[in-house]
Every structure is written in structure tokens, then in C-alpha cells.
Amino acid sequence: MSDNSFGKLFRVTSWGESHGLAIGCVIDGCPPGLPLNEAMVQEALNRRRPGHGKYVSQRREPDLVQILSGVFEDDRTDGPRTTGTPIAMVIENIDQRSKDYGDIRDRYRPGHADFTYDAKYGFRDYRGGGRASARETAMRVAAGVVAKQILHHLYGENISIQAAMVQMGTDKIDRDHADWGRLYENPFWCPDEQAAARWAEQLETIRKNGSSIGAVVEVVAKGLPAGLGAPVYGKLDAELAGALMSINAVKGVEIGAGFAAAGLSGENNADEIRMGQAGPEFLSNKAGGILGGISSGQDIVARIAVKPTSSILTPRKTITSAGEETEIITKGRHDPCVGIRAVPVAEAMMACVLADQALRHRGQVG
Amino acid sequence: MSDNSFGKLFRVTSWGESHGLAIGCVIDGCPPGLPLNEAMVQEALNRRRPGHGKYVSQRREPDLVQILSGVFEDDRTDGPRTTGTPIAMVIENIDQRSKDYGDIRDRYRPGHADFTYDAKYGFRDYRGGGRASARETAMRVAAGVVAKQILHHLYGENISIQAAMVQMGTDKIDRDHADWGRLYENPFWCPDEQAAARWAEQLETIRKNGSSIGAVVEVVAKGLPAGLGAPVYGKLDAELAGALMSINAVKGVEIGAGFAAAGLSGENNADEIRMGQAGPEFLSNKAGGILGGISSGQDIVARIAVKPTSSILTPRKTITSAGEETEIITKGRHDPCVGIRAVPVAEAMMACVLADQALRHRGQVG
Amino acid sequence: MSDNSFGKLFRVTSWGESHGLAIGCVIDGCPPGLPLNEAMVQEALNRRRPGHGKYVSQRREPDLVQILSGVFEDDRTDGPRTTGTPIAMVIENIDQRSKDYGDIRDRYRPGHADFTYDAKYGFRDYRGGGRASARETAMRVAAGVVAKQILHHLYGENISIQAAMVQMGTDKIDRDHADWGRLYENPFWCPDEQAAARWAEQLETIRKNGSSIGAVVEVVAKGLPAGLGAPVYGKLDAELAGALMSINAVKGVEIGAGFAAAGLSGENNADEIRMGQAGPEFLSNKAGGILGGISSGQDIVARIAVKPTSSILTPRKTITSAGEETEIITKGRHDPCVGIRAVPVAEAMMACVLADQALRHRGQVG
Amino acid sequence: MSDNSFGKLFRVTSWGESHGLAIGCVIDGCPPGLPLNEAMVQEALNRRRPGHGKYVSQRREPDLVQILSGVFEDDRTDGPRTTGTPIAMVIENIDQRSKDYGDIRDRYRPGHADFTYDAKYGFRDYRGGGRASARETAMRVAAGVVAKQILHHLYGENISIQAAMVQMGTDKIDRDHADWGRLYENPFWCPDEQAAARWAEQLETIRKNGSSIGAVVEVVAKGLPAGLGAPVYGKLDAELAGALMSINAVKGVEIGAGFAAAGLSGENNADEIRMGQAGPEFLSNKAGGILGGISSGQDIVARIAVKPTSSILTPRKTITSAGEETEIITKGRHDPCVGIRAVPVAEAMMACVLADQALRHRGQVG
């Protein structure tokens, strides 16, 4: 990964600050001939804000995406298709309120990147978090749409990548009651209806108190073939870990059994293999679909820990950029559980990593 | 990360299979003038095998490293020093026993990469796991020695990077009894003497039963300055996550509070800041020393979950490469807790990531 | 170099087709704190069209550049300054004439990339050459402005990078009459007034005939220190060669004596060294300022051969995309000598390569 | 290109100094299943020293290559085959004469990299040129063997890549008398028997005088399909230019008509197209087989200018590392025309660039 790019054959570069003129991305390496239009990307972006404003902070802008290059349509195509050249997408920052940012300009918000950006660069666009803002993740979602088109192109319509919230605070879903077909029916992308109901109640209290709470998000890719990934450093799980950890507020990544694997014996951890109708079948999936860094054909399963946002109404001890001790309250927009926002982003990042590995695989082995 | 390389300015490429003629690495981008000799690397390699053979499988070979390029000594230097050109290191595989590998050639060991390597490449060196063998990690340890020289060169002798086992199975250390100054006094690099004693007893039983157990390893870097890392995709934690997840048998990575952060409120998670004698001081370190992908000057803290080895004596269901159902027992060398082996490797990987970020930082901002 | 990006620490990614909605670039790795505003970039872009429309094809649009990210201004700065985050620049394609492109959609223009893009991608934006259009070079010029700011930041105001046309067709400048201080006084950026006068006359005839002519452009960087570059594959001259050859219509690159060095003896080629007032001085510069891939402190001198444009009024034999033999005349905008356009682009590319090498040097050795 | 690596999917990293313990390379990204053994590589290496010692300096060592990883043979294969994992090759430096290098340690040889390496690194292995020695090119030739296996695998046995010397000093071959099938019959890889005879005579005089002479080498790839390459920065010709310019002593690169294109009119430069038996046919090849950075299916033709070696017996003015003026004569091994050595290296570099582009093409478009 480079500072603002990731991927090797399918390469995403993002740019833009929270309160600059616009944010955008450039996607290089998409194969030619794939259907892609703004409506497809817009739909994915809209899902980032699933009509339940109380839990997700709302900028008063529609986040309208424009595709500026890399697609083309003429009378021989049924709509715009990719050309193989770089796809540039941009979203204007309409909602750049010219408010007074002196508060966060000079006082480092605990748990935010204010202090470290200053330590690194000495000079930064502090408005709304600048480059460190989660607003950047809109472009990841946009890139994820392109990545999914590639995966469908290569492996058919039956593959799927879905992310869901599986834990809020310490309250986990009940896997026996999980229905991944109904993720969109609650504001948490939660597969367990009852958990969603509990979380809704709890989060309302947290929101009113000006507090926040962490979460765990799970991403599952189904239908991918065995053989994707690379040995040693370019392992599929290593690249997933890097990509997922790069999402704002993520503090942990695990694959398959993850940290629970530390507590297992070899007998309980290694997934046995039998022959099924359609080929090898594993009797369990502790590995999360990845062995030796290469996909096994099972579901690819990753989970991320998302910390609670540090933008809370309780006054917090901090210092100014001049080194004076002070306190700060983070006013303004407020996400009581940023884990919700991380759901579509995690899904997109897995799609991007898989698309890149798929193209690399085809290049080396295809 | 590329398939067999990682890092941008400090770039490590490794090569070699478990039972080929040799393994090795090439390290590009090391600054000139740093002291480096084979004894320094050998010492780190020897620590991978800390004289307690019952817990770590022993190849009957000394793992003697040779430095073939990139260092130079003449009458004006006090020993070999790096020249800034690529440093090639090699370890011969003396212990290539010409035994019969037919067993693992045709039968996929559950939990190993046999099946997935075949799925990817169609053809592989199956002897001893080939390229997927943990033997490759010797070169990571070797690279870590160079990385530490760079960090000392840039930030002085007082910085330190240490890894330790903090959990075996479900049994965690007691942080109140931890002494990181005594890691080398037990075969687990465990900072808690009592935990080490318990683990020793437990592992003896596991070993006798031909079973295995997972572990959690923690890596801590002290004394690094604030400002290392990069925004968005090149985040320090993202690169650490990728590097640590690329270690054999690792199934999870977390930074600071990690997965526990999911259960916290914003008040309990964000580390407050005060002015100390020597500059900003944080009142806690839930962030693990990284905010917005950039180091804060606090201790950088990462943990990895290591699965139990799948090489166990209990017969396991599997299939042959021809698709027939069968069973397999993994004989031969046997690590009851591969987490132990992961300790120096995790330490080395953190050193490499930090060295690369440090050079990149100096390049862009220096 | 990647498909649409180049550079390692100073990395430029461009996007956009000739007749799409816009073209743009993202520049990653620029150090923070450097003055940068749209006027500076616009001035360089305007120089691409030096008021002599007869020789350079004119799109009827002002090429107004916008900087969308990566710079910031507040009451503490004297104008916008870079923040160290990605700098996105965009130019709208206002002049997208909805004319009929059927002619070049189905008929491959000889000497153009129509045939090869179709061979590669099967599907392309054919309007005005699409991604293969020289319009993309506007973004190189924009990136060059940032690169020069970096070089000035590192090495002071006295360094300079200048490109000039030194040959049109077979007519070369007279070096004894060259004055590099007066490049802007003629439409060719030609240092030899008399040559410029001859070329003007000759080119008028060529233009009237609907023909075209090739050229040689020379780029010279002065004031750079010794020590920039890298051994073996990352040589300064190798990276210059790649960057300059990537400019549209360039068919050759040479450094210092270049192809003439093939005809020299060792005695006449190797530049002898003496001590001057300010350090080592070379008695000649056959090397073009680069020895072993590393700058020597002398002027860095490169030359490129630019072919005549293939857009001419003479009917040319070609085939259709369906494989039928036909003829084609390229109507519309017309550059009788595209070498003129290559001058500022070559200058920009050298600036970008030097800025990248300078940052890498500072990272590894600084 | 990185400092010591090049290529994206087919990536070559070389290491080693002229008089260190060994030189070597690591080749990452070679597809699995290709035949590869040491004899194949050795044969190519032996061709670097075509039994005519008078013109090519002879180290008294056989340059025996060892393949240490990435190939595997068992009873199911007909000889060693690649496994898809990194291929490490090494050649020991047996001929490390412990002679006194004080002469070149402290005195910068004009035309060599002694001064610039010191300027960059401050410290270097000066023996025999160290990392700047042309000895490194042995590894390029070795990598070229692997690259050719990939190209044959993808495009069949009929493709060919051949390099030849086409000019020595100012004396060019007569294209009407060129027979590329007889390159190996003279010590120059010269396709024109009469030119070879003239050069032999001339070079004998040069050698006796302790002088040296430059040359032009041409590389031609036949049988490659249209469509290889990439737009804008990853152009096939741009990557060829970078790769060829990275060869020691090369000062210029041109594609197709090259610098002569500067003197042409559009009518004479653009290659017209007709339909032939097997598809599109071009009526000329001024483009050198590349249009818009993408191969056209025609012969790919590149030429490089190789300077005369600076190791000559005439005393030359120079300075010491301490800044004192002095003179130097380069004794020892002596190549009167290093262009001869560049022939197989140029061929190998073109093969590597094509193999990388071919795999990238298959990844993105395949």
C-alpha cells in the first residue's frame, strides 16, 4: 500500500479533504467492457446513509458522484462501459459550512488524528478532520462497485460479498437467529432482528447522552474460487488485513476463527476435508476460507473491531497546539456508533482486494 | 505488498522453499554506513531456537547465515558497514532429508496450504511445505536485524522493539506480574513467570498427546517519535496489520485496545492528553500509539492471534489430490505451540514496517 | 512506471480522455508547506500555447485548472500551501464538440494508436484519440509545477530546468548562437534566433501543405547536487528515459553525448575532472551529468526525438476495424510540428523524475 | 523501476558487487510449470563470452550459475519446472583477486561511477567498480532466460528476440547485406559479415593502443501479438527505454525510426496499413512496432547507443577523494568495445519487459 493508493493491478488512489472543494478517486486497471454508470455507484453510496439519521451523522448534501473518465458509451453499447483506462470519480463537497474551526484548529481532540497529523506534517487542513475524515471512505465504496463488477465478470453473478454488524458494544448477535438475506431491514445491517432491536434501544440512550459505542463488523465473500492469493507477503489475508485496518476507527482484524483460534487445539482448529458433489468440501471453516494466504473456495470471512468515535459531548482533557493544557468537547455532527458506517466500507475493501488478487492471479497463472 | 516482497523504501524480498537448496532474502534501501555483520544476524536467528527443543521443532542444522552483498569493510572501517546497495543473505538448507514425501505429495493436510497451493499453481514443491513453510520466517528475522539498525541510526539506542507471548490457549498473563526485562528467562518469551510455569506444564501434556495449542503474541515498540505513518491507505497500523497477518499461522491482528475497543464507550476509549516534562503525554494508550494511521509517540502496541499448528498426531479426514477421501497423520517434526516461533518474527516484522515508514517519512517530510 | 502513474515517493497519476468530461491528475507525496496555487499551475499551462496558433492546434477552451485538494490556506499562511496529502487537479473539457466521429471510430489512422488500442482493449473512447490524445500532457505540465516547487524547496531558487527545441526536421540550431535566456521570444522555445526564423518560414509551408515535420527537444537541469539517482535499475538516466519516452510522439531519448557517444573513443568521451573553486569540476560533459545512474553535479542534459504528427491532409492507406482496406485523411485540428508542444512537457517530466529521486535520496541517505 | 528491481508482475531484483562473495537475482512472478534448469541459463551466460577474448575482458572464472529456489522436479516431471514461487539464482565470485585497489579507492576514474557513488553514499565497495560494475548484467541475462520461457509459453516457439551490433564507432552495417541468422558466427553478433571483418581489424588496433570505441546495438522482437503495452506512463516503449537505458554505458535509446524520425515528414513517417493473409499488415515499420505505447504486431525494434569504456591506458586528469588533482590510468581487464557485451544484455532486457507486459496484459484483459 502506498500512502493514498492500494492494489497492484486493480489500483485505487483517493484524494480530498472533508471540507475542501471535493473528494475523489482514480481507479486504474479495471478491465475494458464492463457495465458501469453513475447510478450504480450512487446506489452504493446512498446505502451508506440508510435513512436512519439518528445513528449516522448527516451532512446536508446528497453526495452526488460523477464519473469523469474511463467509461464510454456509443450507439453500439447498451449504456456506458469501462474502457480499461483510469476511472476518475468525484463528489463535490457542497456542505462546506464556513463555520469557525478555531476550536479544533488549535486544540487536539483526544482519539482523533489532529495531534499526529500536526506531528507529521506541521501543517494541515483541520476543517472537519481534513484528510483524516471518514468522508474519504465514500470513495472506497465507489471503488468497491467497480471491484464487484470485475468479480462478477470473472466469476459470474452468483458470487456475493456482504458485510454486517455482528456486535455492538459487548452485545453479539445470536448466530442461530441470523438471516443474512435481511440485512437491509434494520439500520445496523444486522442479520439478527432481535439484536438489532436491542441495539436500537441501547443506541438511543447513548446518542442522547452524547456518548458513543464500538462495534464488530463481519464481511463474508461467497462463491470465490480456490487459488486466489499469493505466497508469503502478498497473502490474501495479509492484504485483507491491511485494507481493512486502513478503514477509519478500525483497531483489529481477524480471519475465520481469528483470536478465538488462539484458544483452540489443533484438532479443533484444522478444517477437515471431504469430497462433495461439486468438489472438495470442508467440514468447518475455522480458516475463514484462506489457507497459506490462498483462498480455499470456502466462504472468505473477516471481522473488524471498530472503536467508538471520540467525538463525544463529555469534556475531555487535552492540549493546544502551543502545548497548553485545556479541555475540549466535540460538537456538531455525531455518530453514536461509527461501526454502522464501517459496514459498506468493509464490504468495499474486501471487494477491492479480491478484484486485485483475481487479476493478478489471472496474470500469473491464468 | 507484493507476492514475495514488502516495504517501499526499505524493501525485503524473500525466496526459498523448506527443502530446496537454500533460503534467502534481498534487502533494498538500507542507508549506507550502518554496522552490519553476520554475527549480529546469527544472534537473532539463534534466538528463534532458544534451547528448549521440546516446544520448538528442531531441524538438525545450524541455520548459518551468510551476507553475500551490500556490506563492505576496509582498513578505514571498524568492521563491515552497509553500502546502501542490496543486502543479500542466504542460509543453506543442509537438512534436506531425502525421505519419502509421497504422503504429503498426494494427500492434503487439513489446515495446511497443500490444497490451496495446488489449487493456485497446479504444481508445487511439497517437501516440508515448500514455500509455505515457516522456514521462510528466518529471513524475516534476518531483515529485522537490518531494520533495527536503521531505527537505531535514526532515533538512537534507546528505542526498543520487543515481542512476547501473552496468552497460550485461553490462559493469559497477569499484566500486574509482567516483567518485560526477563523475557529471555523462559522458553515462551513470556513476561509473567507464573504464566510461563503453567504453560510449560500444560504444553508438556499437549506435546505428549501429539496435539497443539494456539497463542497470542504482543509486540511493543518504545521510543519512536510521533509522526511516523501515512494517511489513508499507507497507515502505520494498516501496514503493521498486513505485515503481521503475513506471518504463518496468524489469524488476527489488533492495535492497542483492539477488539476490546468494540466494547468500550467513547469516554473510555479516547486517550486524554496532558503536558509532561518532555512534551505531550497521554493518560492511557487505548490507541496503541497510533492515531489516524500515524504514530503518537506513545508505545506502539500490536497483538496477533496464532492458531495451533495443524500438524498433529490424531488422524484427520482429508482427500487426495486425485479427489479420493482418506485420512492423514502429520508425522515428523512437531511444534506443540507455534506461537512461540512467531515471537521473534512478529518483532522483526514490526521493525521492518517502522524502518520503512521512518525512511519514507524522512523522504517526504525530513 | 504503472499504466497511468509514475514516480515512487513523488507519484503522479493522470486520468481522462480527450473528449470526456474532464482530465486530471493526483499527485501524491509532495512535502507539506510548499506554496502552490492555481495561478502558478495556470501560468505553466498557458505556456503550452504561446500565442502562435499557426503552429500549435488550438482547442477553443481556456484549459482552466482547478486544485481540488492537498493545499490549504488560513489566516496564518501567505496563500495556499501544500499539506502533504494528495493534490488533485482537474481541467474540464469544455470543448467537447458533438461532431461525428464515425470516421475515426471505424477507420484506423496510420501512425496513431487507434489500431493498437482496439487490439488491446477491444473497446475505446475514439473521440479525438481518447486516452491516447496529447491532451493528457497538460496534467504532466501541472505536475511539473509541483515538482519544481519541491526542487526549489530542497535546493534553492538557483536551480533551473529548461527545455528547448534544438532541431526541426534536419535543421539544427547553431550552439554558438544559442541563448537560453531568450527561449520565450520565439514560438519554438528555440535558443537560436536564426534557426527560429528559418523554422518559422519552413513550417508555414508545411502547414499550408497539410504536412508535418519532426523535431528534437533538449532539456537541461542546472544546479542539482551530485548524488541523485540510484544504482542499477533505478538509475536517474533510466528513469528519465522512461519518463521522456512516455511522452506522445517521442521515438528516442539520449543523455549527454547520446548516440554520438557510439562514435567516440574513450579518450574523447570520458569527462576529466579538476578541482574548481566550489568543488570538483568536469572539463567536459559528454556524460550529460550522470555517471553510473547518479548525478555528478554537472548539468543534466537529455534530448528527445519527436516524430512528425500523423495527422496530415494527404490521403493514407489504412483498414477499417472490420478489416476492409480504405483510405483516410485526418481533418480538424492540426499541429505541423508537435515537437513544439513537447517542449514544456519534457521539462515537466524531468522535473518530476528529479523531484522523486530527490525525495528518495533524502529518505535513504538524507 | 525501483533502485534494484524492475517489472511489475514479472519482477527482477538483482544484488551483488563485482568483487563481493557472489552476485545474484530473485525473479518473482514467473508462472508455474515452465521448464527451467541451470543448463539453459548457463548457455545464455556462456554466450556473453563468445570465445574471442581479445575483445571482451575475461575474468578467470566460469560464471557457474546455481538456481536455489522456485523450480522443482519429481518423478512426474520431465526435468525441473518453475513452481510460481521466487526463482533465486546466484553466481559465486571466485575470481576475487586480493589485489591492491588503493588506486581506485582514492582516485575517481573519469567516466566511471566512482565519484557519483561516493557523492551519494559516502561509502562504497570500490573493488572492481562494486555495484556499478557491468558484472551485474550477468543476472539480467539469467532473468532474460526466464522471461523468454514465459513468452514462449504464452505465444509459442516462433517468437524470437535477437540483439545485434549494428554500428561500431561510426561504421554502420549495410542493411542490404545483413543476415540475422548468422549472428553467432562473428565475435560482434553482427549480421553483416563484411562489417564484422572491418570492425575486427579496427578493434585490434584500438585494443593495442589501450583505447576504446562506442557502438550501437539493435534488438528486435518478432512474432509478438498486437495489444501489449499500456497507456500513458506504462507504455511499452517507455518501459523498454527505461530498461535499456539502465544497462551500463548506454547513453541513448530509440524505437523504430528513432532520432531519424525527427527529420521526417508525416507522410514518410506514418506506416500505412493493408490487409494481409493473416490480418493487418503495415507497409513500413517506422514506428518500430509500437503505436501509442502498445504493440502493433509488427517487429518491435529498439536501438541503444553504448559509449566507449572509460577504462583506457591513456593517463586522464582526475581528483582524489580528498580533492587533490591527480591523474589515473585504468589497468587490468580491458574491453575495447563494451558494446559487444551489451548485446545479450539488451536482448534479455527486452525479453523481461515483454514478459512483464504480457502477464499484465493477461491480468487486465486476458
Element holding D317 (H helix, E strand)? strand D316-319
Beta-carbon separation of B11 and D5 below 8 A: yes
Residues of chain B in contact with residue D93, where contact means CB-CB under 8 angstroms, are: none
Confidence (pLDDT) at B334: 75
Confidence (pLDDT) at A103: 76
Structure confidence at residue D320 as a pLDDT band (50, 70, 90): very high
Element holding B60 (H helix, E strand)? none
- DSSP structure string for D95-126: -------HHHHHBPPTTSSHHHHHHHHS----
Cell numbers for B253: 491482528
Structure confidence at residue C335 as a pLDDT band (50, 70, 90): confident
Confidence (pLDDT) at B330: 79
Beta-carbon separation of A364 and D363 below 8 A: yes
Q: How far apart are CA B105 and CA B107, in angstroms?
A: 6
Confidence (pLDDT) at D311: 87
Amino acid at C317: K
Q: Is the pLDDT of residue C350 over 70?
A: yes
Mean pLDDT of C142-158: 97
B81 SS3 class: strand
Query: A30: nearest CA in chain D?
Result: D364
Return the closest-CA partner of residue A145 out of A19, A46, A257.
A46
- Residues belonging to chain C with any Cβ–Cβ distance to chain B shorter than 8 Å: 8-9, 29-32, 84-85, 231, 359-360, 362-366
Query: C25: nearest CA in chain A?
Result: A26
Query: A18: nearest CA in chain C?
Result: C69
- Report whether B114 contacts B102 (CB < 8 A): no
Structure confidence at residue D57 as a pLDDT band (50, 70, 90): low
Beta-carbon separation of A232 and B136 below 8 A: yes
Beta-carbon separation of B84 and C8 below 8 A: no
Instruction: Name the more confident of C1 and A43.
Output: A43
Mean pLDDT of C331-351: 91
Minimal CA separation from B46 to chain D, in Å: 23
Q: How far apart are CA C126 and CA C105, in angstroms?
A: 6
Q: How far apart are CA D107 and CA B160, in angstroms?
A: 41
Q: What is the torsion angle, in degrees rounded to the nearest 10, for the CA atoms of residue C329, residue C331, residue C335 and residue C341?
A: -110
Say if strands A300-306 and A215-222 run parallel, antiparallel, or are unpaired.
antiparallel
Average pLDDT over chain D reads: 93
Q: CB-CB: which of A8, A31, A365 is closest to D31? A: A365
Residues of chain A in contact with residue C28, where contact means CB-CB under 8 angstroms, are: 2-5, 13
Least confident window among A5-19, C48-62, C139-153, D291-305: C48-62
Beta-carbon separation of D123 and B72 below 8 A: yes
Q: CB-CB: which of C2, C5, C88 is closest to A24? A: C88
Sequence-separated (6 or more) residues with CB below 8 Å from residue C38:
C65, C66, C67
Minimal CA separation from D272 to chain A, in Å: 26
**pLDDT tens-digit series, residues C43-71:** 999 987 644 455 666 555 578 999 999 99
Q: Is the pLDDT of residue C333 over 80?
A: no
Least confident window among B220-229, C83-92, C128-137, D323-332: D323-332
Q: How far apart are CA C342 and CA C348, in angstroms?
A: 10
Minimal CA separation from A356 to chain D, in Å: 9
- Residues belonging to chain A with any Cβ–Cβ distance to chain D shorter than 8 Å: 8-9, 29, 31-32, 84-85, 231, 359-366
Beta-carbon separation of A259 and B256 below 8 A: no
Sequence-separated (6 or more) residues with CB below 8 Å from residue C141:
C44, C45, C47, C48, C344, C345, C348
Q: Is the pLDDT of residue D235 over 90?
A: yes
Number of neighbours of residue A112 by Cβ within 10 angstroms? 22
Structure letter (DSSP) for residue D225: P
Confidence (pLDDT) at C154: 98
**pLDDT tens-digit series, residues A234-268:** 999 999 999 999 999 999 999 999 999 999 999 99
Structure confidence at residue C102 as a pLDDT band (50, 70, 90): low
**pLDDT tens-digit series, residues A200-229:** 999 999 999 999 999 999 999 999 999 999
Contacting chains of B (3 CB pairs or more, <8 Å) are A, C, D
Rg (CA), chain B: 21
Number of neighbours of residue B222 by Cβ within 10 angstroms? 15
Phi/psi at D177 (5° precision): -110, 15
Beta-carbon separation of D366 and A366 below 8 A: yes
Confidence (pLDDT) at D61: 58
Contacting chains of C (3 CB pairs or more, <8 Å) are A, B, D
Q: CB-CB: which of C5, C29, C81 is closest to A123? A: C81
Confidence (pLDDT) at B42: 96
Q: How far apart are CA B192 and CA D31, in angstroms?
A: 48
Q: Is the pLDDT of residue A162 over 80?
A: yes
Sequence-separated (6 or more) residues with CB below 8 Å from residue C97:
C19
Q: Is the pLDDT of residue A193 over 90?
A: yes
Beta-carbon separation of D74 and B28 below 8 A: no
Beta-carbon separation of D363 and A366 below 8 A: yes
Confidence (pLDDT) at B95: 67
Beta-carbon separation of D88 and B130 below 8 A: no
Residues of chain D in contact with residue B123, where contact means CB-CB under 8 angstroms, are: 32-33, 72, 77, 81, 83-84
Minimal CA separation from C167 to chain A, in Å: 34
**pLDDT tens-digit series, residues D145-195:** 999 999 999 999 999 999 999 999 999 999 999 999 999 899 999 999 999
Q: CB-CB: which of A29, A85, A364 is closest to D359? A: A364
Least confident window among A94-98, B171-175, B292-296, C116-120: A94-98
Confidence (pLDDT) at C77: 84
Minimal CA separation from B81 to chain D, in Å: 9
Return the closest-CA partner of residue D122 out of C225, B87, C365.
C365
Number of neighbours of residue C75 by Cβ within 10 angstroms? 6
Confidence (pLDDT) at B59: 56
CA A26 to chain centre: 17
Query: A29: nearest CA in chain D?
Result: D364
C353 SS3 class: helix
CB pairs under 8 A between A and B: 400
- Report whether C365 contacts D121 (CB < 8 A): yes
Q: What is the torsion angle, in degrees rounded to the nearest 10, for the CA atoms of residue C307, residue C308, residue C310 and residue C314?
A: -150
Minimal CA separation from A104 to chain D, in Å: 40
Rg (CA), chain C: 21
Q: What is the mean pLDDT of each run of 10 residues along chain B (366 residues)?
A: 93 96 98 97 84 58 89 91 98 75 84 95 92 95 98 97 98 96 93 97 95 97 97 96 98 98 96 94 98 98 96 93 92 84 97 98 94
Confidence (pLDDT) at D97: 60
**pLDDT tens-digit series, residues C268-282:** 999 999 999 988 999
Confidence (pLDDT) at D2: 86
Query: B28: nearest CA in chain C?
Result: C364
